[in-house]
Amino acid sequence: MPHRDIDADAKERWLDPGLLRWIWLRYRWVYLGCALAVVALMTLPGAEPSGSPSNTFIVIGMCAALFGGVFVVGKQLEDGTVAFLTARPVSRRQIFNTLVLAGLVPWLLFLLSPAPYTLVIALIRPTPAPAVLYRN
């Protein structure tokens, strides 16, 4: 029995299960890499709120690399995908929702770690006293 019929257009799901599986199959290693990167960020000395400024820059740098990388990799992989999908029996809304979700996952992983809070605190906190630097 076909699971797609005329009524499908009327009562449409937000996300298509077939597409979700596709995204998972293609991106699972990328997501794993992001998760590991986030873990690395968490264990890096200076990632806690009291860390030294130089490490903060490393944190910022790594975040930029992480998300820049995800963006570039994502774009590369999905060249032609949207054109391909719009010709299939999925609606543009479902395609959009799925791709947005796919791009959001690294960010969600990032938010699960202390890294963002470290960043924010490092940015709004004044530079630590010189005495701290000379200690090491």
Partner 1 sequence: MSIPDYDMAVQTRGLTKVFKGQTALQDLDLEVPRGGVFALLGPNSAGKTTTIKLLMNLLQPTSGEMKVLGLDPVQQGVAVRSRTGYQPETGQMPEYARVGDLLELCRSLYPNWNVHKVETYRREFELDLKSFVKQLSKGKVTLLALLLALGPEPDLLLLDEPGTGLDPLRRRQVIKLLVDEVAGEGRTIFLSSHNLPDVERLADRVGFLNRGRLILSRPLDQLLAEEKKIWVVCPEGIPGDLADWPGVRRIERENGRTVLVVSGQVEEIAEKLRSLDRVTFEILDQTLEDIFITYAEEQEHATP
Contact residue for partner 1 among 5, 14, 129, 136 (CB under 8 A): 5
Amino acid 115 reads: A
CA pair distance 46, 59, nearest whole angstrom: 9
Residues in the chain: 136
14 binds partner 1 (CB under 8 A): no
Q: Name the residue nearer to partner 1 (CB basis): 49 or 89.
A: 89
CB-count exposure of residue 33 (10 Å: 0-12, 13-18, 19+)? middle
Distance of CA 7 to the CA centre of its chain: 35
Q: Which stretch binds partner 1 (CB under 8 A): 22-30, 103-111, 115-123, 126-134?
A: 22-30
Rounded-to-10 torsion of CA 29, 34, 39, 43: 130
Minimum CB distance to partner 1, residue 3 (Å)? 6
Binding mask 61-100 for partner 1 (x = CB under 8 A): ---------------xxxxxx-xx-xxxxxx---------
Size of site (CB under 8 A) for partner 1: 31
Three-state DSSP string of 53-81:
HHHHHHHHHHHHHHHHHHHHHHHHHCCCH
Minimum CB distance to partner 1, residue 33 (Å)? 16
Q: Using CB under 8 A as the criterion, which residues of the chain lie in contact with partner 1 when the complex forms?
A: 2-9, 12, 16-19, 21-22, 25-26, 76-81, 83-84, 86-91
